[in-house]
Structure formats: C-alpha cells, structure tokens
C-alpha cells in the first residue's frame, strides 16, 4: 500500500458551497519584513526567569473599550494591579483627555502610588502634548514617559507622506523634547521610553537605525534609564518571524547593553502570547500587556496567560494570581467585557472534564497522589490538568462535570470528592449507566446534587425494602442470622447460617424468597468525617438522619443476573447487610409462599 495520500474529487452529490468571489486570498501578500537571520539563536534557548512586566490595562486596554473607565473604575483597577504585583503600570494618555490627566494627578496628589511602583504614561512626539504630559506627572517620585511615532512603510507612505529620514527626525525631535522637559522637573526620577510604532511591519534594520538615533540623544551609557519598546501594533507574521525581528534588533542595536528592550504584542493572528514568549527567548527583557488580553481589535498580549505559563513550568512569575476569581471580577466589571468560558487558566470550563476518559484519568491521578503523598506532595503531575486549580483559588468541584459524554470515572470522582463514596470499579460501571441515561434524557449537564439524588434513588431508597432489625450469633463455628426485613409492604423473618454475617443473611434471604443468591464482589470503606453528614440516612429510609460513617458495596448474582447495591450506616455490619438488600432490591423479586 502506498504511504502517500491520494486526493479524490468530491462526489456529485456533494453539498460543498463554492468559494464566494469576494473571499479572494490573492488580494494579500506574504509578510515582507522578515530580517535575514540564518544563524538565529533563540530556538535553542529556554526562559529561566520572569521578564519585567508592565501593565497597559489603564491606557491601551482602556482606549479600546466601548465605554472608557471612570476615575473610580481606574482607581479600583490600579489597586488590583498593585495587589497582583506589577511594578510598572501605564496609567493613561494624560495629554489626550481631561479624565486621563485628572487620574494621574489623583494618584500622585493623594499618595496612591507605592514606593516600589513606577507610573508610565504615553505621549506622541509633539511638543504641546509632551508639555502637558510632564505637567500631569509633577511630584511623582519616579515615572516612565513613553514617546512614540509610527515607522512602518504603510504609514510613512500613505498616512504621513514622509520618507525614512523625515520619520526618523520626528523620533529625534521627540527624544530631545523629553530631555528638555524632564530637566524642568528634577525632583522626579525620569525613565525615557521610545516605541517605533508598528515595529512588526517596519523594516527591522530601519527600526534599529531610528532607535540608535534616539539613544544618541538620551545617552543611556551615561546613566539615563532607557526602554526601547518594540510593538507588534498589528500582528502580521508568525511568532517565529517576530522573534527573528527581535533577535536582529538586539544584535544590531549599538547601545544594547545599556537599554531595556521591551515588547508589546497584539493578538491579530491569535499568537500574541507565543510571540512575546519567543521574543523573550530572542533577547527581550520586558513585556507589556493587559490582564485577560483586552486591547484594540483582537486585543493585547494577555500577561496573565504568559505569567501562568511560566508558573506552570516552575518559574516564579513574580505576579500573584492566587486570588484569580476576584481579579477576573475586577477586570471584567471595569472593562464591562465578559470572560470566555474557555479562556486559558481562568475560564469557567478550562479545568473541567466532560469526557469520560479524561475524567477517569484525572480521578486515578488524584487517587494515586493521595496514596503516595510523600512522593508526590511537592510535584504536580495530573493528567489533563497543567496546574493545580487550587493555586488560583479554584475548587476541585470545577474539575469534573457530568453530561452524556461522561464516563464512570467522572461520576465516581463527583461522588468521592463531594460526598465521600469511593465506588469500586464494578460499581462505577453500574452507576455510570444510570447517570448516562439521566443525562441523555434531560439532554443537558447534570449538577452534583442531581447525581447524588440519582445515587440515593437507585441504591439507598428502594421503596418497600428495608432491614428492620436483626441479631447475629456465633455458635460452634457457624454464624446464625435472625432478623426482620420489609419487602414490598410485607415484613418477613429471615433465618440463615453461614461463615459470617453477610453469608448467613444471604442464606436466609435465599431460603425465604426461593432465589439463587451468591455474592460476586464486596467492598467497604469508612466515610470521611467531612462527608459523614451529607444527607444520607443512617437507616436509609428513615426520617431520622444521623452520621453514616461506613459504606458497603455488594455485587450479587440473583438467579444468574448480576445486580449492585450500596448500604450506609454507622455500623459496618449493618452497612454490609443493607448493601446486600439494596442489590437484591434491583432484581425482580417474588416472595416464596
């Protein structure tokens, strides 16, 4: 047989709709700004420490909102960012709007900025805007003034109508103005930041040329702190190409060792996090982004995702997301944007398994870790879960949810984690059929209390079957059972003998019903104290609820057919006998004359 796939034509009955003439891929050109870098080094590197993080939620994120944040919302967001651990926070564009200016003044005048946090603001390379920006930061202990102008071909030619030299001169003028105005506020420690906007679509060698010219003005080698920020203002290439651009830039920048290289990736191709990660491998020191990725068009790079990616690899992200639910709530409410249920790490469903095989693997891994606690206590190693949900404040109840696609492992996980029932495999198989039928009938996800209800109704609340009273006596090496059992409204007396309480009860039950009975499987366990008052009756059908601290599982052969049952009680013997009666109750029962 050939190893090559063969393309065949579609059958005549195909309902495939032809491409619409408006969907014309020929209108686009391959990315044209990849530098020649045949000896790239970033593919063989690994990230070993966290980059410097800079949040731009309050500027880039805010400007992308339908309804920009109020000052109160900005303050709430700022305090959240500080709590997470950000040391550099871009608070706005104070020359663009009065509310932006007022927010900067509020932070400074009311002493809301911790000593170890640096404010950052954005401004275009225009003098009156730069003057207003420095005014907004008067009295700040330390601040980053971020100046930018676009350098890419499409904007040079179609927006500004300027050549490369003229565009570079705009950057130089802006750099000179920052030096001039910073000198007017000597009480503040100033950091200068420059962005060749749309770096991703700029000829990389030209971006280096412009940034070198800016550094000639700022002279970072003489002590002026400088950040050169490389924006993928529009993500126009694969992440590996962006990494090549970053590595080329870092290699060829004249004063590389004296500056901080920063990245600001957008998500137009859905690869902003990947581009930022590869960019760090390529030599970048600093990452700008937003929490949950809010930003223009498809958004900014999601700092939370990138930080959690590092966390999942055993690297300290130097940001604290342990209270993730509260953080997400603040971000969602201030941005007035919903969170997708599949958003990495924080979506409602990202730690949830509906698939039966996934659920079974998760349950077995968690069980193994509990049984080998000394070996696994310090290492997270669970199938399908890249991190421990508890680390970000998520409950294990989020991990497994049940629908018609779920299997025995998921159902068993729910009963074990939430209610203390550790079902043996044969019981898992039996009950999973019950749950699957219920899920298919309702055509929706089943809630935990519905699963417990089905469990009780199937095994613990058989109408008309109840162990009323009994005694067990050991005489001459044999065990004698005597008791009363209610069946279908009749109370009958059971007498039997065997080598233990269970066998003697089964013997008596067989005699009085005329059935052929024998035990196939048996298991029991103590119910964890935290689950012992979970609503299960001590006497199964009694209104008097007590702590049932033992569970017994019985698989019984009744006239050649197999049935499973469960009993719970404070007494292990009673739990065992009730389990046998529960299994017997599953079978069509006809009492003997």
Q: What is the pLDDT along the chain (593 residues), one digit of tens a residue?
A: 444 444 444 455 555 666 667 889 999 999 999 999 999 999 999 999 999 999 999 999 999 999 999 999 999 999 999 999 999 999 999 999 999 999 999 999 999 999 999 999 999 999 999 999 999 999 999 999 999 999 999 999 999 999 999 999 999 999 999 999 999 999 999 999 999 999 999 999 999 999 999 999 999 999 999 999 999 999 999 999 999 999 999 999 999 999 999 999 999 999 999 999 999 999 999 999 999 999 999 999 999 999 999 999 999 999 999 999 899 999 999 999 988 989 999 887 787 766 667 767 877 888 888 888 767 667 899 988 899 888 988 765 555 444 445 545 567 777 777 788 888 877 888 887 887 777 778 777 777 778 888 888 777 776 678 888 888 888 877 889 998 888 877 888 989 998 888 988 999 889 888 888 888 888 888 876 555 545 444 444 333 334 568 888 988 888 888 888 888 888 888 888 998 888 888 887 544 43
Bridge partner list, 120: 90, 144
Are 465 and 585 in contact by the 8 Å Cβ rule? The answer is: yes
CATH of 461-586, one of 3.60.20.10, 3.30.450.40, 3.40.50.2300, 3.30.160.270: 3.30.160.270
pLDDT at 401: 45
Calculate the alpha carbon distances from 223 to 140, 218, 226, 258 in Å. 20, 9, 9, 8
* Burial of 14 from C-beta contacts in 10 A (0-12 / 13-18 / 19+): exposed
Q: How far apart are CA 232 and CA 263, in angstroms?
A: 8
Q: Which residue has the tokens 């009955």?
A: 13
In this prediction, residue 542 carries a pLDDT of 37
Which of 439, 554, 450 minimizes the C-alpha distance to 506? Answer: 554
Six-digit token string for 92:
């706005």
CATH code reported for the domain at 45-335: 3.20.20.70
Distance in angstroms between the alpha carbons of the first and the last residue of the chain: 70
Whole-number Å distance between alpha carbons of 439 and 449: 13
Q: What is the pLDDT of residue 138?
A: 98
Task: Count Cβ atoms below 10 Å from residue 250 Cβ, excluding itself.
Answer: 20
- Residue ranges of the domains in the chain? 45-335, 356-456, 461-586
The whole-number pLDDT of residue 161 equals: 95
SS3 94: coil
Q: How far apart are CA 199 and CA 231, in angstroms?
A: 5
117 contact partners, CB below 8 Å, separation of at least 6 = 82, 86, 87, 88, 89
pTM (predicted TM-score):
0.71
Neighbours of 456 (CB within 10 A): 17
CA 124 to chain centre: 37
Question: Is 337 in contact with 295 (CB distance < 8 Å)?
Answer: no
- Within 13 Å of residue 516, how many CA atoms lie on the same side as its CB? 5
In 3-state terms, what secondary structure has residue 419? helix
Supply the pLDDT for residue 44.
97
- pLDDT of the residue at 349: 78
Sign of the CA dihedral running 318, 189, 231, 254: negative
């Amino acid at each position: 047989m050939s190893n090559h796939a063969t393309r065949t034509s579609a059958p005549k009955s195909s309902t495939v709709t032809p491409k619409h003439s408006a969907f014309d891929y020929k209108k686009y050109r391959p990315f044209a700004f990849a530098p020649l870098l045949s000896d790239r080094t970033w593919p063989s590197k690994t990230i070993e420490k966290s980059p410097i993080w800079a949040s731009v939620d309050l500027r880039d994120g805010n400007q992308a909102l339908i309804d920009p944040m109020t000052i109160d919302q900005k303050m709430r967001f700022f305090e959240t960012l500080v709590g997470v651990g950000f040391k550099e926070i871009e608070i706005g564009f104070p020359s663009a709007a009065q509310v932006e200016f007022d927010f900067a003044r509020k932070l400074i005048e009311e002493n809301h900025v911790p000593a170890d946090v640096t404010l950052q603001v954005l401004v275009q390379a225009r003098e009156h805007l730069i003057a207003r920006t420095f005014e907004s930061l008067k009295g700040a202990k330390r601040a980053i003034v971020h100046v930018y102008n676009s350098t890419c071909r499409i904007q040079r030619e179609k927006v500004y109508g300027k050549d490369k030299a003229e565009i570079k001169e705009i950057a130089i003028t802006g750099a000179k103005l920052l030096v001039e105005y910073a000198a007017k506020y000597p009480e503040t420690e100033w950091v200068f930041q420059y962005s060749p906007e749309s770096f991703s679509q700029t000829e990389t060698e030209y971006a280096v040329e412009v940034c070198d010219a800016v550094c000639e003005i700022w002279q970072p080698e003489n002590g002026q702190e400088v950040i050169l920020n490389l924006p993928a203002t529009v993500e126009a290439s694969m992440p590996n190409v962006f990494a090549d651009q970053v590595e080329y830039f870092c290699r060829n920048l004249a004063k590389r060792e004296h500056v901080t290289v920063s990245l600001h990736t957008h998500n137009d191709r859905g690869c902003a996090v990947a581009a930022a990660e590869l960019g760090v491998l390529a030599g970048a020191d600093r990452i700008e982004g937003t929490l949950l990725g809010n930003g223009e068009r498809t958004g900014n790079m999601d700092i939370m995702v990138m930080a959690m990616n590092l966390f999942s690899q055993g690297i300290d992200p130097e940001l604290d997301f342990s209270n993730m639910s509260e953080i997400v709530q603040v971000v969602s409410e201030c941005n007035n944007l919903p969170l997708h249920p599949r958003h990495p790490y924080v979506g409602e469903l990202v730690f949830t398994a509906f698939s039966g095989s996934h659920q079974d693997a998760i349950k077995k891994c968690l069980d193994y870790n509990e049984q080998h606690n000394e070996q696994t206590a310090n290492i997270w190693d669970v199938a399908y879960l890249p991190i421990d949900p508890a680390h970000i404040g998520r409950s294990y109840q989020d991990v497994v949810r049940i629908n018609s696609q779920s299997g025995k492992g998921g159902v068993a996980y729910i009963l074990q984690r939430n209610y203390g029932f550790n079902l043996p495999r044969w019981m898992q198989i039996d009950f999973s059929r019950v749950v699957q039928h219920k899920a298919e009938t309702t055509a929706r996800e089943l809630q935990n209390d519905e699963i417990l209800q089905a469990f009780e109704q199937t095994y613990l609340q058989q109408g008309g079957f109840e162990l009323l009273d009994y005694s067990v006596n050991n005489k001459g090496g044999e065990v004698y059972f005597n008791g009363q059992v209610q069946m279908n409204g009749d109370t009958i007396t059971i007498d039997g003998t065997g080598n233990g309480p269970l066998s003697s009860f089964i013997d008596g039950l067989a005699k009085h019903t005329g059935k052929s009975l024998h035990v196939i499987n048996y298991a029991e366990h103590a119910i964890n104290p935290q689950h012992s008052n979970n609503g299960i009756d001590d006497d199964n059908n009694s209104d008097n609820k007590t702590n049932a601290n033992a569970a017994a599982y019985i698989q019984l052969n009744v006239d050649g057919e197999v049935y499973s049952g469960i009993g719970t009680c404070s007494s292990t013997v009673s739990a065992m006998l009730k389990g046998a009666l529960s299994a017997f109750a599953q079978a069509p029962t006809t009492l003997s004359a």
